[in-house]
Amino acid sequence: MSVPLTLLGLLEREPSHGYDLKRDYDTFFGRGKPLSFGQVYATLSRLARDGKVVISDVEPGEGPDRKRYVITDAGATEVDAWLTEPVEPEPHLQTVLFAKVVLSLMLGRSAEDYLDLQRNAHLRRMQALTDIKRAGNLVDAMLADHGLFHLEADLHWIETTVARLDALTKEVRDA
Amino acid sequence: MLEARDVKLAFGQTPALRGATLAVAEGEIVAVMGPSGSGKSTLLHCLAGILVPDEGEIMFDGTRVDQLDETRRSTLRRDRFGFVFQFGQLVPELTAEDNVALPLLLGGARRAAAVAEARPWFAKLGLDGLEQRRSGELSGGEAQRVALARALVAKPRVLFADEPTGSLDSLTGEQVMDLMVDSARAQGTTVVLVTHEARVAAYADRQVIVRDGRVHALAAARGAS
Ligand SMILES: Nc1ncnc2c1ncn2[C@@H]1O[C@H](COP(=O)(O)OP(=O)(O)OP(=O)(O)O)[C@@H](O)[C@H]1O
Ligand SMILES: [Mg+2]
């Protein structure tokens, strides 16, 4: 999750105080990992330095919350570019699974035992996410779904790999 | 409460179950997963008294189901079990309402009483207004919810569901699963759910995997981690 771009995106709705940005970020994007005020203001001052936001009115009084931040044209262009660009598809978890399977076979260990444990762990997690989904609001449900579909994809890969273990064992040992 | 003990069954020369063992507790929701052709449906049919194993035992509430004759097993299925399959298998000539009422009618209820008991299921499963439709006039998801109502209306002890979401898209399938789990829990119905979809199996308390006609109980119970 890119914090600077997300804050910029939130600012494109309307000029906001750091406090409001933090609250909206935590509600929709933080999910158990809230931003600290320090992070918010450090990010905003970097965005200001780079000309992506400007500080509009500073209300009388002390403290950072007096400042209202406004997105600039450069900032808006950056948000637009980000939102129209697909994310690099990166199946990184699968590469770890793959490495463990191949190494197990190279070391003469049971890859099937490992895959059984992994399947089990995946199913446990999917159960927990399903509970969250059934108990939570729509935002929780959508995030849980994203996790569920990804875990499901891993499980498909696990099942296919189990079915191919004999062939893979031969290939790895002959290498 | 429901148990398969070392069950073996072959179709001619094809062994489908080679010593399958599974115990299901009262009120439990168990998902049976596994590759195609591994014996999931055959195991479900044995547990439900549809098929009789060549060897091994099927126990339900202390009764040897595999030793009952076909008439007794048929009565057991009608009185104690509910069924949902991949394709709803509604009776096409009947309205949705009559389909739901059917198990009660077969159980000897009067028509008015059966319909009165069937009707609340339509609101419960989000099917308001569809009571008079025939199965050809229902979407796949609607038909599946009607089938679910029909399976549960007689308050069975066990619901057997074989790929109940197999012909539905993922969102519709989830609605069916939500309703199935909520309704089963509300009336204490035990569920044996066959599915090859992990997202569907994740609704269960416990998952087992059938491979080559045997049951692998890999996963610990929900909450037991
Ligand atoms: N009526 C039948 N006659 C002959 N063979 C059968 C019959 N039913 C099942 N089989 C065979 O028994 C084995 C197990 O079948 P079963 O239907 O239980 O598998 P399954 O796990 O439910 O598969 P799927 O996920 O494809 O539904 C398969 O080899 C299948 O071909
Ligand atoms: Mg089957």
Chunked into runs of 10 residues, chain A (175 residues) has average pLDDT values of 87 91 87 88 94 84 75 92 74 73 83 88 93 89 92 91 89 78
Interval B8-27 mean pLDDT: 95
Span between the terminal Cα atoms of chain A, in Å:
40
* Alpha-carbon span B93 to A83, nearest angstrom: 52
Band (pLDDT 50/70/90 cuts) for residue B74 is: very high
Q: Which of residues 39-98 of B touch A (CB under 8 A)?
A: none
The answer on pLDDT for B88 being more than 70 is: no
pTM for the whole thing? 0.82
The answer on pLDDT for B101 being more than 50 is: yes
Band (pLDDT 50/70/90 cuts) for residue B33 is: very high
pLDDT for residue B221: 46
B170 vs B149, higher pLDDT: B149
pLDDT for residue A110: 85
Task: Identify whether the C-beta of residue B196 lies closer than 8 Å to the C-beta of residue B163.
Answer: yes
H or E segment to which residue A76 belongs: helix A73-84
Q: Which of residues 99-128 of A touch B (CB under 8 A)?
A: 116, 119-120, 122-124, 126-127
Helix axes A73-84, A3-13, angle to 10 degrees: 110
Interval B115-122 mean pLDDT: 93
| List of chain A residues whose C-beta atoms are within 8 Å of the C-beta of residue B220 | 120, 124
Q: How far is A135 from chain B (nearest CA, A)?
A: 11
